[in-house]
Amino acid sequence: MFNYFGSKQRLAPTYAPPKHDLIVEPFAGAAAYSVYWLKQRRDTETILYDIDPMVVELWERILAMSPDELWAYPNPKAGEMSSDMLWGSCASATSSWRSVASGGQFQVTGWMARDFPFIKRRMAADLAEIGGGRVKVFEGGYESSLVCDATWFVDPPYQHQGHRYTEGSAGLDYEHLGAWCRNLRGQTIVTEAKPADWLPFRPHKTHYDQTNQARVDLIWESDPEPTLLDLI
């Protein structure tokens, strides 16, 4: 929905489609996988959990608005100080989140002021497609997630790169998380990045960052689709 560090907006279509009408994301963030499939399938619903109260609050604010209200939301001005994470999230940078989480403010940059009008239009368009009570958001860690048959999209802070989040990798027991993922009911998709090893991950996609360094995205699935080699 909104911009967020580690968001899967571009990768969402590359993961397996949900096999259930309910998607659960226990590390919601911007919930790009859920948003993508909510727009594709009108009979799909999603339950989002996040341990970061600021993420939950932002989701609740957006879902309480109409698309027209979001479209008409005032634009920030470069140089002003703010604690409005609807503005701050457009940077997709953890510095804004950390500043507000500690009781401070962030400074609106020139490109934040330039990009927000376009980002809010995209969010308004998404909201028009995913609204109607199909999204429920709760504050809590992954173990507070409702245990049910669903498509589980598990996108935690990465084991070796997840320290940038307000609630990051330092507070996670990955061995416990791996066992928890294996015991989920339904379809489970877990994302990570090389060299994570807390599940038997396989390569999913390779992309290049701003420094032209290759980054390998990993995936683990409880019931992966058969490959061509499997069918031979």
CATH code for position 147: 3.40.50
Query: How many domains is the chain built from?
Result: 1
Q: Which residue range is the domain that position 157 belongs to? A: 12-190
Q: Do residues 29 and 6 touch, judged by C-beta distance below 8 A?
A: yes
The model's pLDDT over 97-129, given as tens digits with 9 standing for 90+, comes to: 888 888 999 999 998 999 999 999 999 999 999
Q: What is the average pLDDT across 165-179?
A: 76
Under the banding of pLDDT at 50, 70 and 90, the label for residue 215 is confident
Query: What pTM did the predictor assign?
Result: 0.89
Q: Taking 60 as the threshold, does the pLDDT of residue 60 lie above it?
A: yes
Structural domain contains residue 216: no
pLDDT at 229: 46
Distance CA(139)–CA(117), nearest Å, equals 28
Residues composing the chain: 232
Residue 228: Cβ-neighbour burial (10 angstroms; 0-12, 13-18, 19+)? exposed
Q: What is the mean pLDDT of the chain?
A: 88
Structural domain contains residue 102: yes
Structural domain contains residue 230: no
pLDDT at 64: 96
Structural domain contains residue 210: no
Structural domain contains residue 30: yes
Structural domain contains residue 208: no
pLDDT at 166: 54
Half-sphere exposure of 72 (CA within 13 A, CB side): 5
